[in-house]
Amino acid sequence: MRLPHKAHLAIVDGTRFVLMRNDGSPDEPKLSEQAKPDLDPTNFSAGVKHQDDAGQRTGATDLNELAHAAAVAEWLNRAALDKTIETLAIAADPKTLGEMRRHYHKSLEAIIIGEEAKTLTGETTERIEKTLLSA
């Protein structure tokens, strides 16, 4: 995925959210961390869909992780609406990305230039930059 100059990259999993910006070029990304936003993960709307007992016992469904994904999407929605972010790519594990998509506002959808269903939280900036070039 080629990330344009000044575009943002949201790196998300079930518990973490880091926002970065590309200060380099699409072919030579130079990511800098912009924020670790303060989230309010109180949207448990996914709980209605994921109430099965077996999933909760085996850990297949963690409602707190889904609420975190919803909170990230809500934060990104606000950033898109107030034009704090104008171009965005998202890298998230598949489960988190799926839950985030359920909460996208049309304004957020309009600025997303790419999504990568991959866990990149905890990776070094250099590894993330290499992953962008190979995606």
Residue 54 Cα to chain centre, angstroms: 27
Q: Tell me what pLDDT residue 52 has.
A: 47
Nearest to 38 by CA among 63, 75, 11, 7: 75
- pTM of model > 0.95: no
pLDDT of residue 32: 97
Residue 20 CA: distances (Å) to CA of 42, 92, 101: 24, 13, 20
Q: Which domains does the chain have, with CATH numbers?
A: 8-134 (3.30.420)
| Residue 43, pLDDT score | 62
Radius of gyration, alpha carbons of the chain: 15
Token reading at 29: 């990304």
Q: Which residues of the chain have pLDDT under 50?
A: 48-52, 54
pLDDT of amino acid 53: 52
Q: What is the pLDDT of residue 11?
A: 96
